Amino acid sequence: MTKDFPPKGPAKPFTPGFGTQGSFKPTVGLPASAAGGRPAVSGGLAAAGFRPRAGQASLSSDDIVRLLQLGGSHLAAGRLEHASAAAVGVLKAEPRNPDALHLIGLVALGRGDAEKAEKFIAAAAALMPRHPNVWVNLGNAQRDQGKGEEALISYLRAEAIDSSYPEIYLNRGQLYQDTSRYEEAIADFERLIELRPNEASSYMRASAAAAAAGMFREALSFGHRAMAVLDIVPPQIKAVVATTHERLGELDAAISLAAEALAEDSSNAAALRTWSKARRRQRKHDQALLTELRTRLELLDTGTISRSEARLTYAELAQICDEQGDAAAAFSYFTRMNDATSGLPELKHVNLRKFADEVEKLIETFVPDFVNSWAPVPENEKEAGHASPPVFLVGFPRSGTTLLDQILDAHPDVQVFEERPLLREVRNTIAGYPRGIAKLTETDRQALRQIYWEALRKEGALLEQKTVINKMPLDSIHAGLVHRIFPEARIIFALRHPADCVLSCFMQDFVPNGAMVNFLTLEGSARFYDRVFTLWQRYRELLPLNVQEVRYENLVADLRAEVEPMLSFLDLDWNDAVSNPAAHALARGTIRTPSYSQVTQPIYSTATERWRRYEEQMKPVLPILKPHVERLGYSL
């Protein structure tokens, strides 16, 4: 992606937005009260670059207009202190000036203080309620605080005022994408394309949303539409299309388009990474090629590109060095990749402790007294009319869940849903979760079950015909909720050597979010593993969970021996289709996880005991993992 995609903060540079009456132009943005009186000039206006006329003791209405426009220019250029000084100067002269309030709010938003921004922009919106840009920016301030529903209301207010205002769909679409509401995100970005058909970023946003939903053919179509419509196709678009081809395993097309992008911009990190990765996939373990690629990528001056681009470059260099067997260099590049990720602007508004704190809260909550306080629930084998009980495929990330997903989904009687937050609405409906599950009545429980079934049906689940499996690895932390709502549920738990899991998570360039930020350091990865498995062990001790463990090491050594018992656990017969997950993955073409390039090749065992090649780097975290290694029957 380009340096400024996706942008955060204000929807657009500040422009005064209050339609005035009287002698002033209606587009100026001044309240009618500016027509009377001349407030005293603020001594701090010099900080905004404003010079009153010689001998002038007060601000005229024209001065206020000029000062607001000057403040807007400062904001657009990123000079937040100067913009703030201009806004403060206007507010000292006229405390209820809505444009100045709006400007102060946008400065706060630019500084990352979304709470303050909401306060000032809301005040501006109350004074000038007919301006869509103000409502959009209010929505942005609410979005950046995690107030998704309030933000949607603000965007809706903007849409009601002017449904042709592009920033509504740009920002609301981003909110939908951030909250995994991909269909709505794509619809908004489609509307953005209608309004801005000649802007490459409109197509890039739609393509990114479709890719996030695993709809790679749709993502590709947005890129090709852009290439057909735009008079000049920027290399960023070619890089996006090339990357999508690579995701789909169409390596020749990926290499060709990436090369075109690089011919136009040799420092395009996204194109360079795709060009390198596709070539590696074509010529596996070709040491001469790896040397060539490493040399090419190391020529890129990462000091001249964005953090996002540097992250992509370091990620690819790390993988090349790993394939070369240069563990020290690979580990160094993985570290630099994660350092670049930690500084991404989009993480500015992410609560980095939220997911880890949720795990701790669950550990504290699930104690014997809490579980014993639950009212008993009726036993039932499965929901009436359904083909099977609900099935959850969980496990720590990088433990083989994507491989299991492909194996199971290849079975004609199985339907796997990959990495969709299907339990989220169930959790959000329970007041005071997790403690609130102890107070659920049978009526409550039945209602929650229906919420889950409806979420699955919305995704296209064939509950009456198929064994439907929800694959979301870290939903393991909500096994207590699953058992409370679905005591008949079957859980497939993917296991892998803890050291391999932790190292692989640290080495993976996950899309950064509240859970994945725990993998930005090796120690953080190990401590997160420890807490997640401490919680899982607590669940196993307290609850009669119906669990089938599947070990990655056994799976790659003898697929049938490990898979057949799992199918029996699900009341399914063996089917030969499950023995070729690579073919199924290629045909499916919708793998959303970072493992997409691994599961589209024949099963290999080289990732087993991978951590031993990095034993020197792993030494500091092995004591954290040792109790789990021993309990799970592995060794160090």
Classified as helix, coil or strand, 199 is: coil
Chain centre distance of CA 302: 24
Instruction: Extract the tokens encoding 107.
Output: 């400065």
pLDDT of residue 388: 96
CA dihedral sign, ordered 566, 403, 474, 500: positive
Check whether 597 has a pLDDT greater than 60.
no
What DSSP designation does 41 have?
Answer: P
Cα dihedral across residues 568, 572, 577, 581: positive or negative: negative
Tokens representing 432 are 């005071």
Judge if the upstream peptide bond of residue 434 is cis by omega within 30 degrees of 0. yes
Which residues, in sequence order, are CB contacts of 52 under 8 Å at separation 6+?
41, 45, 59, 63
Fold of 354-631: Rossmann fold (3.40.50)
Average the pLDDT over each of 6-10, 54-58, 198-202, 400-404 and give the range with the smallest value: 6-10
Which pair of structure tokens corresponds to residue 177? 């994408």
pLDDT tens for each residue of 555-576: 999 999 999 999 999 999 999 9
The model's pLDDT over 248-299, given as tens digits with 9 standing for 90+, comes to 889 999 999 999 999 999 999 999 999 999 999 999 889 999 999 999 999 9
3-state SS assignment for residue 182: helix
Q: 3-state secondary structure string, 457-468?
A: HHCCCCCCCCEE
**Looking at residue 236, what is its pLDDT?**
93
Q: What is the DSSP string of 481-505?
A: HHHHH-TT-EEEEEE--HHHHHHHH
- Do residues 387 and 465 touch, judged by C-beta distance below 8 A? yes
Residue 417: strand pairing partners: 470
Give the rounded distance of the alpha carbon of 32 from its chain centre: 45
Class of the CATH domain delimited by 1-145: mainly alpha
pLDDT at 45: 47
Query: With bands split at pLDDT 50, 70 and 90, how would you rate the model's confidence at 239?
Result: very high
Integer Cα distance of 497 and 551 in angstroms:
9
Q: Is 96 helix (H, G, I), strand (E, B) or coil?
A: coil
Going from the C-alpha of 105 to that of each of 113, 161, 530, 620, the distances in angstroms are 9, 21, 42, 46
How far, in Å, CA of 346 to CA of 6, rounded? 9
483-519 pLDDT, tens digit per residue, is: 999 999 999 999 999 999 999 999 998 877 778 889 9
186, 174 Cβ separation under 8 angstroms? no
* Domain chopping of the chain, boundaries: 1-145, 354-631
pLDDT bracket for residue 179 (50, 70, 90): confident
Confidence of residue 382 (pLDDT cuts 50, 70, 90): confident
d(CA 290, CA 287): 5
Averaging pLDDT over each range in 57-66, 523-532, 581-590, which range is the top one?
Answer: 523-532
Length of the chain (residues): 636
State both tokens at 557.
Answer: 């050594």
- Counting beta carbons within 10 angstroms of the beta carbon of residue 491, is it exposed (0 to 12), middle (13 to 18) or buried (19 or more)? buried
Parallel, antiparallel, or unpaired for β 391-395 and 414-418?
unpaired
Lowest mean pLDDT among 43-47, 323-327, 429-433, 449-453: 43-47
**Is pLDDT of 40 > 80?**
no
Separation of alpha carbons 371 and 355, rounded Å: 22
Taking every pair of Cα atoms in the chain, the longest distance, rounded to a whole number of angstroms, is 93
d(C-alpha 273, C-alpha 266), whole Å: 11
Among 162, 221, 157, 155, which residue's Cα sits nearest to residue 188?
155
Phi/psi of residue 466, each to 5°?
-125, 160
Cβ neighbours of residue 37 under 8 Å, at least 6 residues apart?
none
pLDDT at 7 over 70: no
End-to-end Cα separation, the chain, in angstroms: 40
Could you give the residue ranges of the DSSP H alpha helices within 265-400? Answer: 269-282, 287-298, 307-324, 327-342, 354-365, 368-372
Do residues 442 and 377 touch, judged by C-beta distance below 8 A? yes
Look at residue 24 in the predicted model and tell me its pLDDT.
23
Bridge-based pairing of strands 414-418 and 467-471 is parallel
Q: Is 86 in contact with 68 (CB distance < 8 Å)?
A: yes
